[in-house]
Amino acid sequence: MINERMQKEINDQINAEFWSAYLYLSMSAWFTQNNLPGFANWMYVQYQEEISHGMKMFRYIHERGGEVKLKPIAKVDTNWKSCAAVFNDTLNHERKVTSLINGLMDTAHEIKDYATINFLNWYIDEQVEEEANAEELLNTVKMIEKDHAAMYTLDKELATRVFVDATLKAEE
């Protein structure tokens, strides 16, 4: 059975993961409206990843005999001044998610919940990748944002990204 405090904090994180998905979906819409379908695709894949991250936690609570308590999703931004602003917000958001995951890990260590420590290790690794990807794209966009041909090329490259549910691989 999962500890009540751990259950509450993971439920809060489920909400944060779904909020993240909603944010990335909003960013995808912004890119679509600004004629950057490849960028929109990249953010749509981010949306799908965040849903899968939340669902992994959803399943974990149930596996531990706990209760999932879904909460309302707060409003997200819907407008940005530039592509760089979108990726700056993305990087800052991923850093915030990292701190939330680290907080979950702190609680798991404090209450000696070794199953949850093991479970959260996947998220710790995932956040390293999420931050690195966001920072790389932010730096690239800052470098080429005024070069229309380079932005066009990057847009075509980002259009090739496809969603692969890494949470299912991790559970096999």
CA angle at 140 for the pair 23 and 154, rounded to the nearest 5° = 80
Q: What is the pTM of this model?
A: 0.95
User: Domain total for the chain?
Assistant: 1
Tokens of 126: 């995932």
Domain that holds residue 10: 4-171
Q: Would you state the pLDDT for residue 171?
A: 58
**Amino acid at position 19, single letter:** W
The CATH number assigned to the domain holding 150 equals: 1.20.1260.10
Q: Would you state the pLDDT for residue 150?
A: 98
Closest listed residue to residue 97, CA positions, set 172, 15, 27: 15
At 15-70, the pLDDT tens digits run 999 999 999 999 999 999 999 999 999 999 999 999 999 999 999 999 999 999 99
Burial 18-29 (b: 16+ CB within 10 A, else e): bbbbbbbbbbbe
At 118-142, the pLDDT tens digits run 999 999 999 999 999 999 999 999 9
* Rounded mean pLDDT, 89-95: 98
